[in-house]
């Protein structure tokens, strides 16, 4: 890799890589400390608890003069962390991402008290053992493999004979320390592999949507893209790590042996080699991986449901119809060109636009003036305040998904608001159907229903209306973080 190429790569990474962005942030020191402490017990935390703990921390830092801003709330900080990809939000819970894991490992490695020597006898022994094992597996020479296996058997028999004779060789303190620390580092990387599985699922879902939107096609194209994506995931390093752990869980004997070995290692390891927190993390490794695997299945189910809604929304079909329309335009243009018609020539033809009107002989009758309507005896009828599923299902005149995503953008910019507040920021011009779309959004994402009514002004063409609607309270927290997942 040349200097110019390295400059380009590192410049892009410094601006786009979430881990790099976190490390060069002015608040990186307390963000890393807070998230490391928050995820120490569990990698999945309730959002309300995180808000309370974070408000307490930023209050202490501001009182001590260690935090520059004065009005940023805990909710705003968490939303920023989700947007930058440092944590992931799902179902009112947050969990760390691979970007945070990478940043915290780098920051921890810079601590001299926790830094290991990179060139020790223990590391050299591990490298030699791995090289010998890999060389045997890769060698095509059968006799060489046989010789190596017999040497290993002889070495094991010698160790057994020494045990029978009462001789026991123990690891040196240096080898013991390096061995357990290497084990801890590799064990902590397993959770990172499971996080990568989720990121790979998101990338696969995004790629399938792009293919369907660009290439058109129906469920056949979607199924082919799904199968290709699943095969690529299985072949990836994170996918193989997940499948290996799934095989371990499927064998209860192997799973129990694995857990017992971790307990034994922690039992005979002094605290100066591994801290009590690190030992606790090792003993809970299998339980944490069980929870991570369950989250992987839950996220995969959610992604599949959103992808199914994406297909039912007919994006691929719309692209196919647009392609057919453009092909028809191209054919007509070619025919005009073949007949000598060039662009920019005035044909004298004025196409009719607007609303079509038809008249009949009866429409020409002279009509008398309308009498003035007396409305003094009229009373305002109160609405029921509820929208039935039958009425909501008939809303097909407007692009409801587009309205929902536009609502999410408004909530990001202006914070929580009611339907009347939304109408002030973004006037409703498509009539009753557009107005009722906000009710459908509220019902889908379970927006809180407040007391009273919302008086909403909306229009449809030249006519303006005034409607009384239930007072729903929208907030960005009730809608998916990724706008591509907002589908109505």
Which of 319, 338, 357 is the endpoint of a domain?
338
- Phi and psi at 186, nearest 5°, equal -65, -35
Q: Parallel, antiparallel, or unpaired for β 463-474 and 417-418?
A: antiparallel
In the structure encoding, which two tokens stand for residue 138, read together? 């890769």
Cβ–Cβ under 8 Å, residues 303 and 201: yes
Spatial distance between the Cα atoms of 152 and 298, rounded to a whole number of angstroms: 44
> Within this chain, do residues 328 and 400 fall inside the same structural domain, yes or no?
no
Predicted pLDDT of residue 347: 67
Spatial distance between the Cα atoms of 260 and 131, rounded to a whole number of angstroms: 28
Spatial distance between the Cα atoms of 90 and 111, rounded to a whole number of angstroms: 33
Average pLDDT, the chain: 78
The mean-pLDDT minimum among 165-174, 245-254, 311-320, 329-338 falls in 311-320
Give the residue numbers spanning the domain of 214.
173-338
Predicted pLDDT of residue 393: 52
SS3 state of residue 218? coil
pLDDT confidence band for 247 (50 / 70 / 90): confident
Is the sign of the CA dihedral 341, 347, 352, 358 positive or negative? negative
In the structure encoding, which two tokens stand for residue 409, read together? 């953008």
Spatial distance between the Cα atoms of 154 and 162, rounded to a whole number of angstroms: 12
Bridge partners for 418 per DSSP:
473
> Within this chain, do residues 212 and 303 fall inside the same structural domain, yes or no?
yes
> Within this chain, do residues 180 and 286 fall inside the same structural domain, yes or no?
yes
Say which residue the tokens 């239930």 belong to: 470
Predicted pLDDT of residue 219: 63
Spatial distance between the Cα atoms of 100 and 103, rounded to a whole number of angstroms: 5
Strands, sheet with 463-474, edge to edge from the N-terminal-most edge strand: 417-418, 463-474, 449-460
Q: What is the pTM of this model?
A: 0.47
> Within this chain, do residues 54 and 201 fall inside the same structural domain, yes or no?
no
Q: Between the CA atoms of 195, 196, 202 and 208, what dihedral angle is there, to the nearest 10 degrees?
A: -150
Spatial distance between the Cα atoms of 192 and 384, rounded to a whole number of angstroms: 52
Instruction: Determine which helix (DSSP H) or strand (DSSP E) holds 15, and give its type and residue range.
Output: helix 3-16
> Within this chain, do residues 89 and 238 fall inside the same structural domain, yes or no?
no
Give how far Cα 204 sits from Cα of 200, 233, 318, Å.
6, 9, 22
> Within this chain, do residues 398 and 327 fall inside the same structural domain, yes or no?
no
Spatial distance between the Cα atoms of 188 and 192, rounded to a whole number of angstroms: 7
Highest mean pLDDT of the ranges 90-94, 112-116, 189-193, 258-262: 258-262
Spatial distance between the Cα atoms of 96 and 39, rounded to a whole number of angstroms: 8
Spatial distance between the Cα atoms of 140 and 327, rounded to a whole number of angstroms: 58
Let me know if residue 411 belongs to a domain.
yes
pLDDT confidence band for 120 (50 / 70 / 90): low
Let me know if residue 22 belongs to a domain.
yes
Nearest to 465 by CA among 436, 488, 439: 436
For 408-464, what is each residue's pLDDT tens digit?
888 888 888 888 888 888 888 888 888 888 888 888 888 888 877 888 888 877 778
| 320-323 LR contacts (CB < 8 Å, sep 24+) | 320/216, 320/217, 323/216
Let me know if residue 125 belongs to a domain.
no
> Within this chain, do residues 334 and 451 fall inside the same structural domain, yes or no?
no
Spatial distance between the Cα atoms of 293 and 190, rounded to a whole number of angstroms: 11
Cβ–Cβ under 8 Å, residues 442 and 479: no
* CATH number of the domain residue 37 falls in: 1.10.10
Total structural domains within the chain: 3
- Can you give the length of the chain in residues? 488
> Within this chain, do residues 17 and 97 fall inside the same structural domain, yes or no?
yes
Spatial distance between the Cα atoms of 196 and 98, rounded to a whole number of angstroms: 7
> Within this chain, do residues 295 and 189 fall inside the same structural domain, yes or no?
yes
Cβ–Cβ under 8 Å, residues 457 and 419: no
């Amino acid at each position: 890799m040349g200097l110019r190429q390295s400059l380009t790569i590192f410049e892009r990474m410094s601006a786009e890589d979430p881990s790099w962005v976190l490390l060069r942030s002015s608040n990186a020191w307390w963000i890393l400390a807070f998230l490391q402490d928050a995820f120490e017990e569990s990698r999945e935390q309730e959002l309300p608890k995180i808000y309370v703990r974070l408000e307490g921390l930023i209050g202490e830092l501001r009182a001590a003069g260690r935090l520059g801003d004065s009005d940023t709330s805990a909710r705003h900080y968490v939303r920023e962390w989700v947007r930058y990809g440092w944590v992931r939000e799902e179902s009112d819970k947050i969990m760390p991402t691979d970007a945070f894991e990478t940043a915290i490992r780098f920051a921890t490695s810079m601590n001299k008290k926790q830094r290991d020597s990179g060139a020790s006898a223990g590391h050299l022994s591990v490298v030699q053992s791995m090289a010998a094992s890999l060389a045997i597996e890769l060698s095509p020479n059968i006799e060489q493999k046989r010789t190596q296996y017999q040497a290993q058997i002889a070495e094991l028999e010698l160790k057994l004979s020494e045990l029978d004779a009462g001789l026991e060789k123990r690891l040196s303190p240096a080898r013991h320390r390096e061995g357990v620390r290497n084990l801890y580092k590799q064990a902590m990387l397993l959770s990172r592999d499971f996080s990568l599985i989720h990121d790979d699922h998101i990338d696969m879902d995004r790629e399938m949507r792009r293919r369907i939107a660009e290439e058109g096609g129906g469920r056949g194209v979607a199924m082919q893209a799904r199968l290709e994506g699943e095969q690529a995931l299985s072949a990836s390093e994170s996918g193989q790590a997940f499948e290996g752990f799934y095989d371990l869980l499927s064998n209860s004997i192997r799973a129990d042996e694995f857990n017992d070995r971790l307990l034994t290692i922690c039992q005979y390891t002094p605290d100066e080699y591994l801290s009590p927190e690190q030992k606790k993390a090792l003993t809970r490794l299998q339980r944490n991986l069980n929870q991570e695997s369950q989250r992987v299945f839950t996220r995969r189910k959610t992604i599949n449901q959103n992808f199914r809604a994406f297909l039912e929304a007919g994006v691929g079909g719309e692209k196919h119809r647009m392609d057919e329309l453009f092909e028809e335009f191209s054919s007509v243009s070619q025919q005009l060109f073949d007949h000598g018609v060039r662009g920019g020539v005035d044909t004298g033809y004025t196409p009719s636009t607007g609303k079509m009107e038809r008249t009949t002989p009866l429409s020409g009758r002279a009509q008398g003036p309308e009498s003035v309507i007396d409305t003094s005896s009229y009373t305002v009828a109160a609405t029921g305040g509820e929208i039935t599923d039958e009425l909501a299902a008939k809303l097909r005149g407007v692009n409801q998904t587009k309205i929902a995503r536009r609502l999410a953008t408004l909530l990001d910019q202006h914070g929580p608001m009611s339907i009347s507040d939304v109408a002030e920021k973004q006037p409703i011009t498509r009539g009753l159907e557009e107005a009722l779309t906000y009710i459908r959004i509220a019902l889908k994402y379970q927006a809180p229903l407040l007391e009273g009514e919302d008086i909403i002004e909306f229009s449809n063409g030249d006519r303006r209306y005034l409607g009384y609607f239930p007072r729903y309270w929208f907030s960005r927290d009730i809608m998916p973080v990724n706008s591509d997942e907002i589908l109505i």
